[in-house]
Amino acid sequence: MKEKPIRVIIAKFELESHDRGAKLISKMLSDAGMEVIYVTFKTVNEVVKMAMEEDVNVIGLSALSGDTHKVFSTDLMKELKGKGLDNRVLVIIGGRIPGADKPELMKLGIRGIFNPGSRDEEIINYIKENIPRND
């Protein structure tokens, strides 16, 4: 029996306009056999709704502007928890995340944090090894 592919949303929120890294990650995950949905300029509610509708295993956030990663991560995790998805969806973030912010993000429930320069294999293996098994 063929294994169901890992389903991923790569999301850029609202005014976050830097998209090169998110597009590269989307292609890399797709090339690794994952089904990837790339969305830009969405609200947290829109991303969570899409995650539910598409039955995704992973939400990957892209953040390159200022402190937006804190705001959107907090709001996303709150919304996922409210929908009972916080333990059913692996949430990772990539971009320019200051080291000092990482403990706070992990406490929120962000499980993987990848800065520019992270190796493809590192990200792919992290996802494969850490997605929640909801079978």
Give mean pLDDT, residues 108-113: 94
pLDDT for position 132:
85
Structure tokens at 39: 């969305």
Which residues 6+ apart lie within 8 Å of 126 measured at CB? 92, 112, 114
Q: How far is the C-alpha of 6 from the C-alpha of 28, rounded, in Å?
A: 13
Closest CA to 5 of 60, 54, 61, 77: 54
Higher pLDDT, 8 or 44: 8
For 105, which DSSP code? Answer: H
The CATH homologous superfamily to which domain 7-128 belongs is Cobalamin-binding domain (3.40.50.280)
Q: How far is CA 121 from the centre of its chain?
A: 16
Give me the residue spans of the domains in the chain.
7-128
The predicted-structure confidence for 30-64, as pLDDT tens digits, reads as follows 999 999 999 887 788 999 999 999 999 999 998 87
Share of the chain above pLDDT 70, in %: 90
